[in-house]
Amino acid sequence: MEEGISLNQNNNTINSVTVKEDKKLLAKIWDKTVDLGVSVQEAKINMRPTQIKILSVFCPELKPIIEPVTKFYESDSGKKYLEGQKEGIRIAGNVLKGDTDEAKKQCQEMLDSINSENGDNMVNMANDINGMLTEINEAGGMKK
């Protein structure tokens, strides 16, 4: 066992390994993990001899929100919804660049794409969004 590490198995406290760390270093880590948590990213690193997956910050308060949102974006409806959002950003980017002809073309393509969807698909998407919001709400994710 490394120097400075102790295995705390006292019945009066939480069982854990304890190490000493500088508070300033912890503050830096905290800032970075919160950033990762906010953007709901998982950073993967390769290390010898295995792989560690950083789960950003373990924050149970976020779990009721992240899980239904992730599930929705993984569904067919969610993928279409996300593609629509991304296309909207691409159109806005072209408008900002002054390429309004390209933006107009993209808008028409987006409209054609929406028009080509049948009613059932749109109802399914609405139901999936409603399900996601209900799940978040029931898990207490939107309550203060």
Partner 1 sequence: MNENPGFISVTDENNNKIEIQVIFGFEIPEYKKSYVVYTTECQSPQEEINVNISEYDNNTYEIKSIPEDELDFVMESYNNAKSMILETE
Judged by the rule CB under 8 A, the positions of this chain that interact with partner 1 are: 1-2, 5, 7-9, 11-26, 28-30, 32-36, 43, 45, 47, 50-62, 140, 143-144
Cα separation, 61 vs 136, in Å, equals 11
Backbone torsions φ then ψ of 7, nearest 5 degrees: -95, 110
Based on CB atoms, which residue is closest to partner 1, 66 or 110? 66
Least Å distance between CB 70 and partner 1? 14
Based on CB atoms, which residue is closest to partner 1, 4 or 98? 4
Least Å distance between CB 85 and partner 1? 25
Least Å distance between CB 33 and partner 1? 4
**Helices 63-74 & 76-97 angle (0-180, nearest 10):** 90
| Residue 98, Ramachandran bin (φ over 0: left; ψ between -120 and 50: alpha; else beta) | left
